[in-house]
Structure 1
Amino acid sequence: MKRTLYVVRHAKAEDRATFMRDHDRELLPEGIMAAARVGRYLSEKGVVANRLISSTAHRAKDTAKVFAEQLGVETEAVELDEKLYEGGPKAYLAAVNSLPDSCESVMLFGHNPDVSYFTEYLTHQDVGSMSKGSVVAITFENLHWAEVSGRTGFLQFYVTPKELLKQ
């Protein structure tokens, strides 16, 4: 069975101000538009996600909700995982390894550098620093989610909001 993991970096958020906790930074209007653009692109490609799991940070959670709207998923269906905020790539792997096998496709919403490192760990492909609002699709052939680890995935595509403006 083929499983697909979509790893999404949160869209553009407000800069960190001295009076604001990093966790509480909100998406900027241009970030919301970019997330909608990428979400709509995925919807038009026929992407379906059985689960959407996000960091608890506002900017990641809001990016997930915009994607959910574009994919026709209830925004309340977005699951929050506090370990995806500052938990490092190991937290992302733990989230994936704990998924039930009934899920064929999952979207994880998080932060850099973790999402970039995690993608490179799974695929052994150089993606560099993922752009804000971008998504990678990684497939796994004949593996249970619990078996996913380094170099077991295949990078299918990497899409950025800026790229979609050119189309």
Structure 2
Amino acid sequence: MILYFVRHGIAEDWAETGLDQDRRLTERGRKRIRQCAQALRLLEIKPEIILSSPYPRAAETALIIAETLGAAPPVLKEQLQPDGANSHLLTECLNPEWQEVMIVGHQPNLSEYVAHLAGYGTNLIFKKGTVCRVEVQGEHGQVSWILPPKVLIALAEARQAKPAKH
């Protein structure tokens, strides 16, 4: 099984309501996530399910990725809210009917999930838009790659600059 952990894109510094939970992606954040999602499509990432924090910045990120990859709309999970990290969600994700699952959320939760699966400390850096691939066997996993947005965007831009072969 493969799990992809994705940190939400660049969000507003504050919401009109003053509540962190209401912050949305900025226009730049939406553009960068679209570019990152295009790179994921080039890498032939095909999650069977995308689970997302219900916070707008994460849900918007998940929806942009789902639309770009041609995946089903994301499923919002309260457990993916900031400070909502728990191993019960990972147990749910390790459902044998799925081969590829994408989880869109926040820091430090994402580092904690990867640490739980792969035995790393919680100091993994998830810049906004970073994607981490963890290959899981049983209850343990191994990080096969972690790509920051700059790398994903460079991949998408390089592909767009290169003419398609016929």
> What is the TM-score normalised by the length of structure 2?
0.84
- Partner residue in 2 for 1:94: 88
Q: Would you say the 8 A contact 1:42–1:71 is kept in 2? A: yes
Per-residue deviation, 1:123: 1.6
Deviations 1:53-106 (A, max 9, x none): 0011000000000110111124xx21011121134431xx32221243111110
Q: Against the structure 1 CA distance between its residues 105 and 165, is the aligned structure 2 distance closer, same or farther, given a 3 Å change threshold?
A: closer
CA distance in 2, matches of 1:12, 1:69: 18
- Partner residue in 1 for 2:134: 138
- Partner residue in 2 for 1:29: 27
CA distance in 1, matches of 2:15, 2:63: 24
Deviations 1:1-23 (A, max 9, x none): xx000011111100025842111
CA distance in 1, matches of 2:57, 2:9: 7
Aligned counterpart for 1:110 among listed residues 105, 108, 115 = 105
CA distance in 1, matches of 2:125, 2:46: 25
Per-residue deviation, 1:137: 0.4
CA distance in 2, matches of 1:101, 1:42: 23
- Unpaired stretches in structure 2, ≥5 consecutive residues: 156-166
What count of residue pairs does the alignment treat as equivalent?
Answer: 153
Q: Would you say the 8 A contact 2:78–2:84 is kept in 1? A: no
CA distance in 2, matches of 1:35, 1:156: 21
Please state whether the residue corresponding to 1:108 is helix, strand or coil.
Answer: strand
Q: Against the structure 1 CA distance between its residues 33 and 18, is the aligned structure 2 distance closer, same or farther, given a 3 Å change threshold?
A: closer
Q: Against the structure 1 CA distance between its residues 17 and 43, is the aligned structure 2 distance closer, same or farther, given a 3 Å change threshold?
A: closer
Q: Would you say the 8 A contact 1:113–1:129 is kept in 2? A: no
Per-residue deviation, 1:128: 2.6
- Give the AA of the match of 1:97: T
Please state whether the residue corresponding to 2:85 is helix, strand or coil.
Answer: helix
- Give the AA of the match of 2:5: V
Q: Would you say the 8 A contact 1:125–1:155 is kept in 2? A: no
